[in-house]
Amino acid sequence: MGHNDEVIDCAFASAESIAVCTNSDHLRIFELESRACRLLHGHTNIILAVDCNSVAGLIATSSKDQLVRVWDLASGRCVGLGEGHVDAVGAVAVAPRNSLMCASGSADRTIKLWDLAAAKKCAASEDEEGDVPKMKLMRSWAGHEKDINSIAISPNDGLVASGSQDRSIKLWDAATGDLKQTCKGHKRGVWCVKFSPVDKVVASASADSTVKLWSISDGACLKSLQGHEGSVLKVAFVCAGMQLLSSGSDGLVKLWTIKTSDCVDTFDHHTDKVPASSPLTCSPSVAN
pLDDT of residue 270: 61
pLDDT band at 2 (very low <50, low <70, confident <90, very high): low
> Do 162 and 142 form a contact (C-beta atoms < 8 A)?
no
Confidence of residue 236 (pLDDT cuts 50, 70, 90): very high
What pTM value is reported for the model? 0.89
Residues 125-144 have pLDDT tens digits of 877 666 899 999 999 999 99
Binning pLDDT at 50, 70 and 90, where does residue 4 land? low
- The arithmetic mean of pLDDT across residues 102-128, rounded, is 91
Compute, in degrees rounded to 10, the torsion defined by CA atoms 122, 126, 127, 132: 20
Q: Which residues on neighbouring strands pair with residue 58, listed in sequence order? A: 53, 72
- pLDDT confidence of residue 268: 74
Q: Indicate the pairing of strand 262-267 with strand 253-257.
A: antiparallel
Task: Indicate if the alpha-carbon torsion angle 193, 73, 96, 45 is positive or negative.
Answer: positive
Locate the domains of the chain by residue range. Answer: 1-142, 147-288
pLDDT (tens digit per residue) in 240-251: 999 999 988 888
pLDDT at residue 73 tops 70: yes
CATH match of 1-142 with 2.130.10.10? yes
Average pLDDT on 146-173 reads 97
Cα distance between residue 143 and residue 108, in whole Å: 9
* Residue-wise pLDDT tens digits, 220-231: 999 999 988 889
Q: Residue 204 and residue 191: Cα distance in Å, rounded?
A: 8
User: Does the pLDDT at position 5 exceed 50?
Assistant: yes
More confident residue, 28 or 283: 28
pLDDT exceeds cutoff 60 at 174: yes
What CATH architecture applies to the domain 147-288?
Answer: 7 Propeller (2.130)
**Residue 168, SS3?**
strand
Around 5, how many Cα atoms within 13 Å sit in the side-chain half-sphere? 8
| Topology alike, domains 1-142 and 147-288 | yes
Residue 257 CA to residue 262 CA, distance in Å, equals: 5
Which residues, in sequence order, are CB contacts of 279 under 8 Å at separation 6+?
12, 236, 237, 238, 245
